[in-house]
Amino acid sequence: MTEPAHFPLSAVVGAEALKLALCLTAIDPKIGGVLIEGPRGMAKSTLARGLADLLGEGPFVTLPLGASEERLIGTLDLDAALAQGKAQFSPGVLAKADGGVLYVDEVNLLADHLVDLLLDVAASGTNRVERDGISHRHSARFVLIGTMNPEEGELRPQLLDRFGLNVALDGQPAPEARGQIIRRRLDFDADPEAFCLQWAEAQAQLRARCQAAREQLTQIALDDQALAQITERCFAAGVDGLRADLVWLRAARAHAAWRGAGQIEAEDIEAVAEFALRHRRRETPQPPVHSPAAEPQGGHGSNTRQGQGAWGEMPPQATATGARREVPNWAKKP
């Protein structure tokens, strides 16, 4: 059975910040995935599915909102175990997502017990199913992509931190951009194959750029100078734990590879700063210590958040370098 055509990421109007975050995750899956926030009707699912094509052959698996625990982790057939002397495992969503993308729409509405299971597996990269003393273990390494509408509830802090990068979509595209969005959507719905063929060259170029960056990645050092800048700014932003530092450093290296550079530069650190910090900043930042080395650079130690342009209001460079706009009410945490 032929897979249905997906809207090409290269054909998406605007959303430059999110497209960049998805490409960086495709370049280095160890960044830890992307959480996409935004109001209804912002094509969050369409954008998330665009990542699958950039990752190559890895599967793109969706976790349904009302999924059971067995649907998530899989099941063991005890009768088969007794008859054959070995466990017969029926794979769940986690097994099917191994080596690819696990996509969770409305992740903030996921049941708590499923969140706990997802956290355990995301941390270990292994899923273990046990029933009546019989167990089965399998690899479950995946890029976690989640979407949510903050108006419908917050995400548990433990799961929020598990997402490497966080991007918020702006719900007010300009009239010209709105027209382009609608026109392309209508063209795609009328003839998906013809539309994908029209964008095949641009999509191939995007895929090739990600592949070249993946090959370049191991040649770029996670150097101490870049780490020092990042750790100072994470401290100034008052983030808990050390995940932000690691994610930020990996994302900066992926951005350097995306540019075709041989080392991490200040522009790479700045380009991904908001992606790594947006969902980890404390409402009350850490007070600076009395040392020039610990002073926040560029004002990023404050609680101001960058409004991520979703559909073309901000060019990629302006978005990447920390240009700021008024944040819509839905994006503000209480």
- CB count within 10 Å of CB 89 equals 19
How many whole angstroms separate alpha carbon 139 and alpha carbon 99? Answer: 9
Of 71, 141, 243, 259, which is the active-site residue? Answer: 243
The answer to whether the CB of 181 falls within 8 A of the CB of 311 is: yes
Nearest to 299 by CA among 281, 322, 283, 320: 322
Q: Which of 130, 147, 131, 127 is nearest to 139 (CA)?
A: 127
Cα–Cα distances (Å) from 171 to 98, 174, 178, 216, 330, in that order, read: 33, 10, 11, 35, 10
Q: What is the DSSP string of 17-74?
A: HHHHHHHHHHH-GGG--EEEE--TTS-HHHHHHHHHHHTTT--EEE--TT--HHHHH-
Please give the biggest Cα pair distance in the chain.
Answer: 70
Q: Which two tokens stand for residue 275?
A: 């992606």
**Residue of 25, 18, 61, 26 whose CA lies nearest to 42:** 18
Q: Which two tokens stand for residue 12?
A: 């998406």
| 183 assigned to active site | no
Extract the tokens encoding 310.
Answer: 């979703």
Count Cβ atoms within 10 A of the Cβ of residue 329 and give its class: 0-12 exposed, 13-18 middle, 19 or more buried: exposed
Q: Would you tell me the crossing angle of helices 200-217 and 44-54 to the nearest 10 degrees?
A: 60
| Enzyme catalytic residues | 243
